[in-house]
Structure 1
Amino acid sequence: MKTTMIMLFLALVSWGASAQHDHSSSGHSGSSHSNTAPKMKEEPRVIPSIKVKHSLLATSILDNYLALKDALVDDNSKKAASSGKMLFEALGKFDLSSQDASKQKELKEILDDAKENAEHISENGDKIDHQREHFELLGGDLKDMIVITGSDRTLYQLFCPMYNNNKGGKWLSASDKIKNPFYGSKMLKCGRVLVEISVK
């Protein structure tokens, strides 16, 4: 009787060990399967494009705007003030009569806003944060302007999501490489391309 009980006990232990081994091996197999699941490929982001007519009318304005942008990238508020003054003057020299009569009123409003922002930048050579606030508004003004007037070059509208307490800020650049004018050396590479503005 003792022998039978011992044999029965050993059989049960052996069966239990075997079942445990099968269970852990199937669990391992499932885990291995989940680790080797194919990863989804990230699709490259398509950048929207706006086409504008070729025109030299805004060349001086764009040159001075881009010089201002570079000064802010370099954290140079004095140079930004100087570029802001030159931009203000270039905006004042724009010939509204060169545009369709139907667009002149809208364009005058855009230019007036842009001049006000450029003037603030030129008068605050010791307040780079204030300059950057007006520079952000200026980027919208100039984008609206070149949609009407045209451009002599391809431009990119870039976006920094962290600027202005995470509300974000936009600017124009002649390059799609990010050099952030809102943070300069603190976060030079923060941003992404929103729109390409190309010449027809």
Structure 2
Amino acid sequence: MNNLRVTTTTLMAMAFVGLTAMSCKDGKEDSSATTETEMIKLEPSASTANNESKVQNPESEKVLADYMALKDALVETDEKAAAEAGKKLETTLKSFKLDSYSAEQQEELKGIVASAIEHSENIGKTDMEQQRAHFQKLNDAVTNMVAITGTENTLYQQFCPMYGEGGAWLSTEKNIRNPYFGSKMMKCGVVQKEIN
């Protein structure tokens, strides 16, 4: 009898895990996952706590605009457009000026921008699979940049648990459009944070 209970419990657990994973794979949006948006303001780092203005450098908005164009190309699974967007973002990042930030912020931003340039450059010369892998790292850099520079617009940090160990991205819309899988799993993901 105990073996029967263990087997039944194991089967039920496996069915639950399988259904959870399949909810992203079948392309259907889980309304409970996307409507329960966690409203969290991005906490400023110690180096940004004394900033008076929300955005000190309009160039950071240009970086975000180029990032969004790249994200959209990945959503559309358009390798050529993603490569072009990666090259454009690389150029924008190389012209990013740090002089309006404090010495501590400049030091943080130098590393962040260098990482973002490296991944943008790689996106400009690789295939779709590698573009998405570099986008995951690029996203980390851009998210860290926004924590320092701020943003004029509301952004939504979104997350897909099905991409590797999980892949995050920024969006200007709550609606999930997955850059890691495109049309294969367009709606797979949840909004983790609202950043403004």
Q: Give the alignment of 1:1-200 within 5 angstroms.
A: 44=36, 46-50=38-42, 53-55=54-56, 56-124=58-126, 127-164=127-164, 167-198=165-196
Give me the whole-angstrom Cα distance separating, in 1, the residues matched to 2:178 and 2:37.
20
In structure 1, the gaps of 5 or more residues are 1-41
Following the alignment from structure 2 to structure 1, what is the Cα–Cα distance between the partners of residues 149 and 97? Answer: 11
Q: Which residue of 2 aligns with 1:4?
A: none
CA RMSD of aligned residues (A): 1.7
CA distance in 2 between partners of 1:60 and 1:188 (Å): 26
Instruction: Report the TM-score when normalising by structure 2.
Output: 0.74
Q: CA deviation at 1:45?
A: 5.4
The answer to whether the Cα contact below 8 Å between 1:136 and 1:171 also exists between their aligned partners in 2 is yes
Deviation at 1:57, TM superposition (A): 3.0
Secondary structure in 2 aligned to 1:59? helix
Bigger mean CA offset, 141-150 vs 48-57: 48-57
Aligned residues: 153
The normalised TM-score by structure 1 is 0.72
User: SS of the residue aligned with 1:162?
Assistant: coil
For residues 143-195 of structure 1, the C-alpha deviation after alignment (integer angstroms, 9 at most, x for no partner) is 1001111212111110000001xx11101111111000000000000000111
Deviations along 1:29-62, one digit per CA (max 9) or x if unpaired, are xxxxxxxxxxxxx995533222672342311111
Distance in 2 separating the partners of 1:63 and 1:94: 13
Gaps of 5+ in 2: 1-31, 45-53
In the aligned structure 2, how far is the partner of 1:72 from the partner of 1:83? 10
1 CA distance for matches of 2:36 and 2:86? 37
